[in-house]
Each structure stands twice: as C-alpha cells, then as structure tokens.
Amino acid sequence: MSGTVAIIDYGAGNLKSAQKAFARAAEGSGTDVLVTAEADAVRKADRIVLPGVGAFADCMAGLEAVPGMRDVLEERVLGRGVPFFGICVGMQLLASVGREKVEVAGLDWISGAVEKIEPQDPRLKVPHMGWNTLTLTRAHPLFDGIATGEDGLHAYFVHSYHFAVENPDDRIATADYGGPITAAVGRNNVFGTQFHPEKSQTLGLALIANFLTWSP
C-alpha cells in the first residue's frame, strides 16, 4: 500500500475529520492523503474519496462548479478503474437522481434515486441520527474482517434521505431504521457508505484500511 489518496474539496464535506481518519488508517504505509480542489491532483491520485454533507442539490452544484472535476472523476473512476469511496452525500451523488425538495440529476454511476426515509414506526424521527449495526446483503472486500449483523460493530449515521438502488446487486449493506435503509453501495471499483466512516471508530477505521489496500 502506497501512493496518493485524493479527498475532493468541493465545499461540502467534513474534510478535516475525513483527512484525519484516512491518514490514521494509512499510517506507516507510505500513502499520502491529500485534500484538494484541483482536478489535476485528482487525475494523478491512486485512490479517490468524495465526502459530502448537506443537501443533494447543493452538493451536486458544488461538485459541478469545480473546474474539470466531474470530467476527471469520470475519466479516472469510470475510465481507468481507480478505487473510489463516496461518503454520505458523496455516496448519494452516485445515484441517477436526487429527490431532496427538488429533483436533481446525479452522477448516474449507480442506477437509482435518493429518496426521503419513511420509517414504518411513526415514533422514529427523521433525520436518522446515531449508531446502527449493519446487515451485509452481499460480500464485499471492504467489509473483510469487520463484524456485522446484530452483534457487530456500529456505524454512525446522520441523514434524512437514502439511496434506493434500482438493482439490488448494487446494495452491499443495510441498517434497520423502521425498515431497511441503504447503508453501503458498490459496483466494480466504486464504493460508497451512507454512514460516516471517519466518525465510526473501530468499524470506520477498518473499512478505510480495507479501502487503502483494495484492488478491484
């Protein structure tokens, strides 16, 4: 494990905490963790991370506003197979469309829509905020060695919308919040979590460490 991890700065992420978590997981490996708003820096990176906090429409507009960034992402991730990790709204942007207040087109890397959470239990409040265990819906290398299920490790969530994927094979994990909500998605070299790995302690650091050695 070595090279460069680029965490994209487009005005919509917990950049310091993300950088700190990725740097901690990369300690002693020779991997550089770079926060950047420069498309050229992302083009040279060996791994790419897209964080995201806030509304879908604002995050999509912020990403589109960074000169050359969407083109570079499509070139490197879709064209070259560079490992990619989307976090929270950064994961939601992978969808075909976001339906948070207004309907906005996403990157459309994974077919589906970002929809409002509607818990079956009316006592459950939205946003969904707090710690949940995860249920894997299929095996994935990023969850290797991580305890999941009812007695597994907990991940930290804070969100009102979730990714309703079109193809169930693109869903990797769910969390229970008055019914299953999408917790992780993936296809080929693309991976994303609704929860925040940088705030998810043991689970989050293990997931990031797996990402840093992942060869899809």
Q: Residues with catalytic annotation?
A: 88, 196, 198
Tokens of 80: 């070259």
Buried b (16+ CB within 10 A) or exposed e, 138-160: eebebbeebebeeeebbbbbebe
Cα(142)–Cα(187) distance, integer angstroms: 12
Cα(56)–Cα(89) distance, integer angstroms: 6
Which of 55, 213, 39, 37 is closest to 141 using CA atoms?
Answer: 213
Cα(195)–Cα(204) distance, integer angstroms: 9
3-state SS assignment for residue 127: coil
Buried b (16+ CB within 10 A) or exposed e, 20-45: ebbbebbeeeebebbbbebbeebbeb
